[in-house]
Amino acid sequence: MVQQVLVAPDKFKGSLTAAEVAARVSAGLGVPTVELPVADGGDGTVDAAVAGGFSRVTIEVTGPTGERISASYAWQDTGATAVVELAEASGLRRLPGGHEPLTATSHGTGELIADAVRRGAKRVVLGLGGSACTDGGAGMAQALGARLLDADGEDLPRGGAALKGLARIDLSGFVDVSGVEFVVASDVDNPLLGPHGAAAVYGPQKGATPDDVRTLEAGLARLAAVATATHGLMGAVEHDDTPRAMGVAGAPGAGAAGGVGFAALAFLHAEIRPGIGYLLDLLGFGELVKDARLVITGEGSLDEQSLRGKAPVGVARAAAEAGVPVVAVCGRRTLTDDELRAAGIEAAYALTDLEPDPERCMAEAGPLLERLAARLAAVHLQGE
């Protein structure tokens, strides 16, 4: 039996979805392939799950600036598993008119989770990445039935800045999640607070000024302190002008997606797992790679970020466990051959090898990728 080629790329951001990349590579190779689009928990995770056999559930939810939008999650009847991607409902791409760092909310993500729980989910996988908000997951918690109240007993408005006025969290109306396993798929290991926390590191990427960062930091600190004091989260609280909660707030990954990781840990008792590794398991990569003679992975840019838990390196590590060689395709690459080999990738083929103009690479990514795949096949699939 001729062994197949397993094509398992991430998206080429701004050009092609992961499924489109896989289809173009397969078309250019001219040999039997199995296509398995992948994602690392960020933008495109739901699409990858749907391409892997999940169904798509679309509902109306609250966008990051309060508008109503249509957003989707992936559903699999076997195991009653839902894959919820924060970027779908609360991502930067959902901002209609520019960044709103102080008021953007994760409320829509909570609505997706609530719908999956009502559907009977026994496991919810929450992919974090591409967030527009820095609200510590407060909006998500509110959508699940939590009330975040000020000193007068009034509900706080949306966004991270409002959290500075938080006095009490009422979970009496929180949705029953006692029979649901929650897994956060993320490779971000930042804590909630401090110089490596959600506001300081990721706030500026969402349009936050230095003053905004200080405001958001104070709000997140207040959220952590009240949650710790009122709901028995592990660790101590310092009651001062900028209260700090250790324990959950200091856990690696609590700062993911503007602090949504914290809320997932604190209110959903989630387990944080490496994004790409967990999703590969969920999509059945381990079984498919057993019958492969070569794995082709890739993403838009193979660079230093790729080495920090991104999809191609995760695919390469998983393939190495099965003893299957890996090559990559990409839009551009800045990694050296030695860096690629150290990551388990034998060779990488970039669109810029064929077309030096980056704009044309973006505009003509599909046809160029087919040509690139043909070049790859001539080197790595001789005799097929």
> Looking at residue 137, what is its pLDDT?
97
Q: How far apart are CA 256 and CA 131, in angstroms?
A: 9
Cα three-residue angle 189-324-129, rounded to 5 degrees: 25
Same domain membership, residue 118 and residue 15: no
**pLDDT of residue 383 exceeding 70:** no
Confidence of residue 245 (pLDDT cuts 50, 70, 90): very low
Same domain membership, residue 316 and residue 269: no
Same domain membership, residue 168 and residue 307: no
Same domain membership, residue 290 and residue 182: no
Q: Which of 139-143, 258-262, 274-278, 376-380 has the least mean pLDDT?
A: 274-278
For residues 287-316, average pLDDT:
92
Structure-token match 């669109």, residue found = 351
Confidence of residue 237 (pLDDT cuts 50, 70, 90): very low
**pLDDT of residue 246 exceeding 60:** no
Q: How far apart are CA 26 and CA 20, in angstroms?
A: 10
Last residue of a domain, one of 275, 308, 331: 275
> Looking at residue 121, what is its pLDDT?
98
**pLDDT of residue 50 exceeding 70:** yes
Same domain membership, residue 232 and residue 175: yes
Q: Which residues contact 211 (CB under 8 A, 6 or more apart)?
A: none
- Pairing state between β 55-62 and 68-76: antiparallel
Q: What is the pLDDT of residues 150-204, one digit of tens each?
A: 999 999 999 999 999 999 999 999 999 999 999 999 888 899 999 999 999 999 9
Same domain membership, residue 212 and residue 134: yes
**Mean pLDDT, the chain, integer:** 92
Same domain membership, residue 120 and residue 214: yes
Confidence of residue 80 (pLDDT cuts 50, 70, 90): very high
For residues 35-46, average pLDDT:
92
**pLDDT of residue 240 exceeding 60:** no
**pLDDT of residue 241 exceeding 70:** no
Q: Which residues contact 262 (CB under 8 A, 6 or more apart)?
A: 136, 137, 192, 198, 220, 223, 224, 248, 249, 251, 254, 255
**pLDDT of residue 233 exceeding 80:** no
Euclidean distance between the first and the last CA atom of the chain, given in angstroms as a whole number: 12
Radius of gyration of the chain (CA): 22
Q: How far apart are CA 128 and CA 106, in angstroms?
A: 11
**pLDDT of residue 259 exceeding 70:** yes
> Looking at residue 340, what is its pLDDT?
95
Same domain membership, residue 238 and residue 109: yes
Any idea what the CATH number is for the domain that residue 371 is in?
Answer: 3.40.50.10350
382 or 328: whose pLDDT is higher? 328
Same domain membership, residue 94 and residue 235: yes
> Looking at residue 306, what is its pLDDT?
87
Confidence of residue 232 (pLDDT cuts 50, 70, 90): low
Any idea what the CATH number is for the domain that residue 159 is in?
Answer: 3.90.1510.10
Beta carbons of 381 and 28 less than 8 angstroms apart? no
Q: How far apart are CA 307 and CA 16, in angstroms?
A: 21
For residues 198-225, average pLDDT:
96
| Reported pTM | 0.89
- Pairing state between β 68-76 and 81-85: antiparallel
> Looking at residue 373, what is its pLDDT?
97
98 or 251: whose pLDDT is higher? 251
Same domain membership, residue 137 and residue 61: yes
Number of domains in the chain: 2
Range of the domain at 269: 45-275
Q: Which residues contact 51 (CB under 8 A, 6 or more apart)?
A: 18, 19, 22, 35, 36, 37
Last residue of a domain, one of 247, 275, 303: 275
Closest CA to 375 of 346, 344, 351: 351
Same domain membership, residue 308 and residue 165: no
Same domain membership, residue 271 and residue 322: no
Confidence of residue 77 (pLDDT cuts 50, 70, 90): very high
Q: How far apart are CA 135 and CA 50, in angstroms?
A: 29
Last residue of a domain, one of 238, 258, 275: 275
